[in-house]
Amino acid sequence: MDREQFLTFRTALTPASGFQSAQYRIIEIYSTDVFFLVQKDLRGSFIIEDAPEKLMEFLYWRRGAVEMESLKKTFTLRQFEEKYLPSLLQVANEYREKNLRQKWLKMAETERWNPELVATMRRFDHLANVEWPLVHFRTATRYLDRKPQELAATGGTNWKEYMQPKNQQVTFYPELWSEAEEQSWGKNVTKEQIGI
């Protein structure tokens, strides 16, 4: 689809956005503890064991995706919260002890550190939280980043900051990454790495 084709129907999508994908949020909750979906610079005020009720207000996508000018929550985000927060909270409570990270932690030490398993979990983490967001960010840039005036996203967010994995700073399995890897999370990712 070339850019002009996209631009002919783009506005018809407003305020809908992939941002309103409840499945995307549920996959995140299935994958790790809600604590690791809290905006990274706010995590210091919480502990992993805190109840989802206490953590949900501070999730990265509820904090990061705001209107460019006002920095207030977008209409798209408010609509999404109204419709899906109760069910997301229910899923978060249901998967508190059985999300993938918890299942991994409950494995016997030797099994847990099986090199093949660790490599697979690292691959999943990097695909979900670096490679896919980066390919998606590059797609959005291709279609929305026009000179001199970039186009507003259909969901109305500060997409240029928000969508970059180095800003979202989501890692499902921090135990599987070195400090250096965490510090360069989402940075210096080569086109080869993300297959474009």
Q: In the stretch 31-70, what mask flags binding to ligand HEM with x, by CB under 6 A?
A: ------------------------------x---x-----
Determine the size of the site formed for ligand HEM (CB under 6 A): 21
Residues from 149 through 168 that contact ligand HEM (CB under 6 A): 153-157, 159, 163
Backbone angles phi, psi at 23, to 5 degrees: -60, -40
Toward ligand HEM, which CB reaches closer, 159 or 172?
159
Could you please report the per-residue DSSP string of 57-110?
GGBHHHHH-BBTTT-SBPHHHHHHHHHHHHHHHHHHHHTTTTSHHHHHHTS-HH
Whether the Cβ atoms of residue 50 and residue 35 lie closer than 8 Å to each other = yes
CB of 194 to ligand HEM, least distance (A): 15
In whole angstroms, give the CA distance from residue 16 to residue 134: 21
- The answer to whether 21 contacts ligand HEM (rule: CB under 6 A) is yes
CB of 73 to ligand HEM, least distance (A): 12
Contacting residue, 5, 7, 11, 24, with ligand HEM by CB under 6 A: 24
